[in-house]
Amino acid sequence: MEQAIMNNLGFPILSTLIFLPIAGAALLLLISRSNESLIKWFSLIVSITVFIISIPLFTEFNKSTHLMQFTEKHAWIPSLNINYSLGIDGISILFVLLSALVTILCVLISWNSIKAKTKEFYISILIMEGAMIGVFCSLDFMLFYLFWEAMLIPMYLLIGVWGGPNRIYAAVKFFLFTLVGSVLMLVGIIVLYYQAGGTFDILELMTKTYPYKLQLWLFWAFFAAFAVKVPMFPVHTWLPDAHTEAPTAGSVILAAVLIKMGAYGFIRFSLPLFPDASKAMTPVMLTLSVIAIIYSAVICLAQTDLKRLIAYSSVSHMGFVTLGIFALNLQGMEGGILQMINHGVVTGALFLSVGMIYDRTHTRQISDYGGVASVMPVYASVFMVFTLASIGLPATNGFIGEFLIILGGFKANQWAGVLAATGIIIGAGYMLWLYQRVFFMETNQKVAGLADINLREIITLLPMIILIFWIGVYPNAFLGFMHESVKHLLERVNSGGMHEAGVAKNILEIIK
C-alpha cells in the first residue's frame, strides 16, 4: 500500500531540515566559548540556511492531493520493524515552515539579551529546531516519539538556565507535566503496535480499524500527551509558569511551535486512528475547549504580569483551536489549523515585543509601565498591530481563524459556538485594557527615556507583520495547502466508524 509521493527534489529535503540544525549545534561545540559573536553569527547563518532550504517545500508542494509528499524511508531497527520514515502533507507543511522561521527570530531576539552560557543557549535553540521539524515530519511513531521527547531536553534547559527568577520551578513543572503525558502515550503507541500486527508506520496504522473499547483507552492515553502540550484545561497550569519564566526565545518557541504540537497530535493521530472514540468524546472535548476559552480569558483580566497575561491568552486561544478540531467539520478543522499558525505568529510576536521592552526595563509588571506610546512610538504602533491581530480584527489573520472556528463550532454544537464567541469579546477586553495600561495613561518614571526599537528588532518583527496581513487578506494562500488533507481526514473520521456508529451513539446517550 503506497500512500505517498516520493521526494523528487534530488536531495532528502526533510532530513536536511532536521539534521542541518543539529549538525550546526555539534559544530558550535567546537567554537571557543569566548568568541561570542562568532557563535551568534554562526547560529544565525545556520537558521537562515535552514529556512532557505525549506522554501522549496512551499513552492513545490502539490496542493491537489492529500498524500504524503517529499517522503523518505529507510530501515532503522529492522528487527522491530521500525523505519526512519519522513513526509509531510497539507496539515504539517505550514508547521515546518513556521518552525524554521521562528528559529531565526529567536536567534535575533536573543542577540543581546543572553549573556551567560551563550554557547549552550544557541546549541539548545538549534537542537530544538531540528527536533521540532522532526516531530512534524515523522511518519513512524517511534521516530515521532523520539523527536517529541528529545525536545524536552533543550526546552528544559532554555527555561531553567536562562529564565526569570522562578525559572527552576517552572522548568521542572514543564518537564514533569509533559513527561507524564508523553510516557502514557508511549504505552498507547506500543499497544497500538501489537494491535496492528507489529508496525509503527503511521500511514499503515491509519488504514486499520480498532475495536471501540481499545480506541477509547488509546484515545485517552494519547489525550494525556496532547492535552498537556496544547495545553487544555485542566492540565494547562504548567504553561503560565513556563511562559512567564522562560527567556524571550523560549517563550516564543513555546507559543509558536511547541504547544501547537498537542493540537497537531490530535489532528494527525487521535482523529484518524481512533475515529469512533473521537466522535464519542466530542462533547467532552468541546466542553473542555469552551471552559479553556472562557476561564483563561477571565483569568487574563486579573493578571498583573505582562507575560503571564499573554500566557493565559494562549490557553484561551488554544481552546479555540481544539474547539475547531473537534467540531469535526471542514470549517472548524481548517480554522483550527490556520488558527494554530495565527496564534504562533501573533503570540510569538507578542512575546518578541514584550521581550524587547523587558530587555530595556527588566520588569514584567504592567503597573511599571504607562505612556510607552509617547516614548517609543514605533514600538507602540507595531504592538498595536499584534494586539488587534490577537483580538481578531478583520483584515488580520486572527479574524479568519476565529471566524472559521466559530462557524464550525456553531455547526457542531450551537452552544459551543455561542460561548466561544463570548471568549472573543473578553479577549478584546483584556488585550485593549493591557494596551491602554502599558502604552497610554501617564508616562511612568521607569519607562521615561527608553530608546525606541532598533533596526534588528524591526527586522525581527517584520516577518510577523507581513504574515498577519498576508493571512488576513488572502487566507487561501495558506488554506489551499491543507484543503485536500483535511477533507481526506474528515472522510476517514466520518466514515471510519460506520459499522460502529451504533455503539458510539449509545455511549453518547449514556454520557448525556
Partner 1 sequence: MPFVMPALGPVMPEIVMTCLALLVLLLELVIKRKETIAFLSIVSVAVVTYLLAGSSGITFNGMFIADGYSLFFKLIFMLNVVLTVLISVKYIAIEKVNFGEYYSLILFSTLGMMLMASAGDLITLYLGLELMALSTYVLAGFLRHDIKSNEAAMKYFLLGAFASAFLLYGISMIYGLTGTTDLHAISSYISQKGLSGNPVLTLSMILFAVAFSFKIAAVPFHMWAPDVYEGAPTSITAFMSVGPKAAGFAVLGRVFLTAFGAARIEWAAILIPIAVLTMAVGNIIAISQTNIKRMLAYSSIAHAGYMLLGIIAGTSEGMASVLNYLFIYAFMNIGAFAVVIMLRSEGFKGDNISDYEGLAKTHPLAAALMLVFMFSLTGIPPTAGFMGKFYLFMSVISAGYTWLAVTAVIFSAISAYFYLRIVMYMYMKEPKAEVQLSASPGIALALAITVIAVLIIGVLPSKVINVARIAAGF
Distance between CA atoms of 322 and 324, rounded to whole angstroms? 5
Cβ partners under 8 Å of residue 183, min gap 6:
none
Q: Shortest approach of partner 1 to residue 506 CB, angstroms? A: 26
Q: What would the grid cell of residue 141 be? A: 511513531
Q: Output 27 or 77, the one with its CB closest to partner 1.
A: 77
Instruction: Rank residues 153 and 465 by Cβ distance to partner 1 and give the closer one.
Output: 153
Q: Which residues contact 204 (CB under 8 A, 6 or more apart)?
A: 1, 196
Taking the least distance from each CB to partner 1, the nearer of 245 and 402 is 245
Amino acid, res. 235: V
Q: How near is the Cβ of 5 to partner 1 at its closest, in Å?
A: 27
CB of 183 to partner 1, least distance (A): 4
Least distance to partner 1, CB of residue 206, Å: 21
Burial of 16 (0-12, 13-18, 19+ CB in 10 A): middle
Q: Which is nearer to partner 1, 218 or 232 (CB)?
A: 218
Contacts with 148 (C-beta within 8 Å, 6 or more apart), sequence order: 135, 182, 225, 261
What are the angstrom distances between the C-alpha of 251 and each of 103, 108, 366, 450, 494? 12, 14, 18, 23, 37
If the CB atoms of residues 5 and 152 are measured against partner 1, the closer one turns out to be: 152
Q: Please, which residue, 18 or 373, has the CB nearer to partner 1?
A: 18
Residue 273 CB, nearest distance to partner 1 (Å)? 17
State in angstroms the smallest separation of the CB of 50 from partner 1: 19
CA–CA dist 399, 332 (Å, integer):
14
Q: Interhelix angle for 377-391 vs 397-412, to 10°?
A: 20
The CA angle 283-496-289, to the nearest 5 degrees, is 20
Q: Which residues in 327-359 are b (16+ Cβ under 10 Å) and which e?
A: bbbbbbbbbbbbbbbbbbbbbbbbbbbbbbbbe
Please, which residue, 175 or 326, has the CB nearer to partner 1?
Answer: 175
Minimum distance, C-beta of residue 160 to partner 1, in the bound complex (Å) = 5
Please state the closest distance from residue 481 (CB atom) to partner 1, in A: 30
Smallest separation (angstroms) from partner 1 to the CB of 446: 27
Residue with smaller CB distance to partner 1, 187 or 301: 187
Q: What is the dihedral of CA 355, 357, 360, 365, to 10 degrees?
A: -90
- Specify the residue, 30 or 510, whose C-beta has the smaller distance to partner 1: 30
At its nearest, how many Å lie between partner 1 and the CB of residue 180?
Answer: 5
Q: Which is nearer to partner 1, 56 or 211 (CB)?
A: 211
First to last CA, the chain: 40
CB of 145 to partner 1, least distance (A): 7
> Cα-flanking dihedrals φ and ψ of residue 435, to 5°?
-60, -40
Q: What region, left, alpha or beta, does residue 72 occupy, with left being phi > 0 and alpha being psi -120 to 50 degrees?
A: beta
Is residue 62 a contact partner of residue 5, using CB atoms and an 8 Å limit?
yes
Q: Would you say 175 or 478 has its CB closer to partner 1? A: 175
C-alpha cell of 169? 520551578
Give the nearer residue to partner 1 in terms of CB position, either 33 or 362. 33
Smallest distance, partner 1 to C-beta of residue 268, A: 19
Q: Write out 37-56 in H/E/C secondary structure.
A: HHHHHHHHHHHHHHHHHHHH
CA distance 398 to 418: 18
The least CB distance from residue 496 to partner 1, in Å, is 24
C-alpha cell at 238: 504548567
Neighbours of 485 (CB within 10 A): 25
Burial of 239 (C-beta count, 10 Å sphere; 0-12/13-18/19+):
buried
| Footprint on this chain of partner 1 (rule: CB under 8 A) | 33, 76-80, 117, 120, 142, 145-147, 149-150, 152-153, 156-157, 160-161, 167-168, 171-172, 175-176, 179-180, 183-184, 186-187, 190-191, 193-194
Q: Are 273 and 212 in contact (CB under 8 A)?
A: no
Give, for 35, the enclosing helix (H) or strand (E): none
Which C-beta is closer to partner 1: that of 148 or that of 369? 148
